[in-house]
Amino acid sequence: MQIIPAKTPDFVKTWFPNFIWNINTKKKELYLTFDDGPTPEITDWVLKTLKTYNAKATFFCIGNNIEKHPDIFNRILNGGHSVGNHTFNHLKGWRCNTDEYVEDIKKTQALIRAATSADYASHLKLFRPPYGKFKAKQSKQIQSLGYTIILWDVLSYDWDVTVSKASCLKNVITTAKEGSIVVFHDSVKAFPNLKYALPKVLDNYSKKGFSFKGLQQNRDLLIQIPELSQ
Ligand SMILES: [Zn+2]
């Protein structure tokens, strides 16, 4: 059941102006994101599908999965995609203390840094909290460590087994517009819906003249966060 709306309401974005919900742009660009990988076979399927449309995306990876599947993580990087931190253990922020939460993020960031080589310093450090939830103290601390917190504009609900394939697709194509940040998952649970919806989303928006971009080197994002461009 969809409790949180597929489209994030504007008033929610206004409550949390320090988080990135979408890119402020009139350009025909979409920002697809994939959470919870790398996952054997599924992430490679996503990479192959994106490549067909010359699409770039952002992968919010779980540190534990990067550690288990370094080859897949490297294929994400070699594909020119952006990567972000999604904690090491997919922690529920509201269930753990801030030190524990931040340590989990740092452990993941060390893996990202080790794999990213010379380009690392020039890229934004992106973080998305699992479940989109964390304590205010945690979010402040994460930002003070230089992370840009990315939430979303559109939820596909691909992970929800009670949401049909058609609804998952509809959640995206009826709501995503210029600058939208769209959430998918390269996970086993989401795969039936993802496999159906992703090619159709790519096809639909390509035909409308959209391109698909990663968030890490995004100029508009730098403009949106003034302190980053200084
Ligand atoms: Zn997640």
The pLDDT of residue 33: 98
Per-residue pLDDT of the chain (230 residues; tens, 9 = 90+): 566 788 888 877 777 778 999 999 999 999 999 999 999 999 999 999 999 999 999 999 999 999 999 999 999 999 999 999 999 999 999 999 999 999 999 999 999 999 987 777 778 899 999 999 999 999 999 999 999 999 999 999 999 999 999 999 999 999 999 999 999 999 999 999 999 999 999 999 999 999 999 998 776 676 665 554 44
Q: What is the CATH number of the domain that holds 135?
A: 3.20.20.370
What is the CA(230)–ligand 1 centre distance, in A? Answer: 31
Q: Which of 35, 153, 158, 160 is catalytic?
A: 35
Per the structure, the complete domain to which residue 153 belongs is given by: 18-228
What is the CA(208)–ligand 1 centre distance, in A? Answer: 30
3-state SS of the chain: helix, strand, coil percent to 5?
A: 45, 15, 40
- Only one residue has tokens 């096809």, namely 203
Q: Specify the 3-state DSSP secondary structure of 84.
A: strand
What is the CA(65)–ligand 1 centre distance, in A? Answer: 12
Let me know if residue 1 belongs to a domain: no
The pLDDT of residue 224: 66
Question: How far apart (Å, rounded) are the C-alpha atoms in residues 109 and 92?
Answer: 18
The pLDDT of residue 229: 43
| Phi, psi of 91, rounded to the nearest 5 degrees | -75, 145
The 10 Å Cβ neighbour count of residue 112 is: 20
Question: Which residue type occupies 215?
Answer: L
The pLDDT of residue 16: 77
Let me know if residue 11 belongs to a domain: no
What is the CA(130)–ligand 1 centre distance, in A? Answer: 4
The pLDDT of residue 222: 65
Number of domains forming the structure of the chain: 1
Let me know if residue 49 belongs to a domain: yes
The pLDDT of residue 6: 86
Let me know if residue 5 belongs to a domain: no
Let me know if residue 212 belongs to a domain: yes
Let me know if residue 160 belongs to a domain: yes
CA 125, 129, 130, 133: dihedral to nearest 10 degrees? -170
The pLDDT of residue 227: 53
